[in-house]
Amino acid sequence: MKKPVVLIVMDGVGYTDNNYGNAVNNAYTPNLEFLEKNAAFTTIKAHGTAVGLPSDEDMGNSEVGHNAIGCGQIYAQGAKLVNASMQTKEIYASETWTALKTQAKDHTLHFIGLLSDGNVHSHIDQLLDLIRQAKADHIKQVRVHILLDGRDVPETSALLYVQQLEDALATFNDADFNALIASGGGRMKVTMDRYEADWGMVELGWKTHVLGEGRGFTSAKDAIETYRIEGQYTDQFLPAFVIQNKGKPVGTIQDGDAVIFFNFRGDRAIEISKAFEQGPEFKYFDRKRTPKVFFAGMLQYDGDLQIPKKFLGSPPHITNPLSELLVKHKVSQYALSETQKYGHVTYFWNGNRTEKFDDKLETYVEIKSDLVPFEQRPWMKAADITDALIEAIESGKYGFLRVNYPNGDMVGHTGSYPATIVGVETVDLQLGRLLPIIRKHDAILIVTADHGNADEMYEKSKDPNATPKAKTSHTLSPVPFFVYNANVKFKFGNFGLANIASTVTDLLGIQKDPAWLESIIDKHD
């Protein structure tokens, strides 16, 4: 093996020439500027078809990005898989759908999930297709528990999606079919926690969706408008609400009901799935009442742990990841991030696999994230991550080390431009700490990103005098790709995240897997 390779993923740091609201270009980043001048540098695609999404109008995200980086291939991802199975009706011929409609025939079918067309966790069109099919299959009662986005779509767009859903339900409803919105709340307050960072969110979701406990409103529109006046909340942070009729919840979840969590992305679906599926071993909060329901996910969110046990569509079957190949070549590996992105350098990196390929050759390190709003501490745990990484490099134990700095993405999602500037500058500061360590140990440094976010913090406006409006979603920007401390020359071509795996093995002097996309490197010493 040649020099050790260190790969840094600056989560959410896209590269674009547009300076308007660009927290990457407008931050003080002397170390990124140093790399532009002193490293091999190009930009690569991190969205759309380059990462297995339906079209190039679809923003990339951390999950599909890390799948592509870690596995060297482009797989059809969740949204594309679900769309295809709905078009062919395959999803409705599945064993799971058959069982769901049988269960719900004399009970209620509940849908829980993110209500938007962001196409990152879910898509409202897929929800409407499911409800339409439920009616066609003679299910009589449907209740929808909506989680509001404002993160992968404009930050105060929830009423548009609520109206779209209400209009559709009005056309579906008749004497034999009744569908209503039953509860909801913002995605960063209710239900959609990930990596067990805050089980309180899931507990609140359980109380809201299942038990019908919480502040009551006559409609979702009433809830959203009231909360906005009271607290000026953006959608993702809206408090929980329960829709009531004559003072009673319209859609609690009862014994005999069926429940579908309709998100196709897995990270924020696993914990609520555990709450529905686990028995006495469930330890995270007091569920008070655990209805006996048929629960299914849109996809299986964790194949190794089989969460959930029942699901409508099959997730991409990803094979031949980089980690597995390096294990075969006896290369010791080190994966590191804080809680918010730990699963990305492990589970998603390894092709949606929880377990290691070799316990002796692979070391996973998680730095616990703070449970505070990211705009209040935009530096997050970056310094702690760097401390651990420097220690790992200096140990001389590892041939390949991979790290995710979440700041550009997690702070970028808050919509706070000043805080995101600090987040980007924090990551740049950590690069400044690492560069001398790379030189000292004669390692090779790769610096890249998994998608854009911090590079476009304001919604584009045709009015040059308009007050900037925060943008909290990902972007369609390419991402940087640097190789430092190696004499390399890049090929000319249309490269993306899936070309990184073969580039890593190229630098390590190992033959790539035949299934992978080609290396970006043309020549190197």
Active site residues: 62
Q: Residue 66: which of 113, 116, 12 has the closest Cα?
A: 12
Burial 10-45 (b: 16+ CB within 10 A, else e): bbbbbbbeeeebbbbbbbebebbebbeeebbbbbbb
Angle subtended at Cα 513 by Cα 504 and Cα 484, rounded to the nearest 5 degrees = 10
d(CA 63, CA 79): 12
Q: Which two tokens stand for residue 91?
A: 């999803």
Query: Which pairs count as long-range contacts for 305-310, CB under 8 Å and 24+ apart, including other chains?
Result: 305/354, 307/270, 307/273, 307/274, 307/277, 308/261, 308/273, 308/276, 308/277, 309/277, 310/96, 310/99
Peptide bond into 308 cis (omega under 30): yes
| Phi-psi domain of 324 (left: phi exceeds 0; alpha: psi -120 through 50; beta: other) | alpha
Q: How far apart are CA 337 and CA 402, in angstroms?
A: 9
Distance CA 117, CA 79 (A): 11
Q: Which helix (H) or strand (E) holds 31?
A: helix 30-38
DSSP secondary structure, 259-298, as one string: EEE----STTTHHHHHHHH--TT--SS--S-----EEEEE
Distance from C-alpha of 136 to C-alpha of 515, rounded to nearest angstrom: 42
Tokens of 460: 């584009």
Tokens representing 494?
């249309």
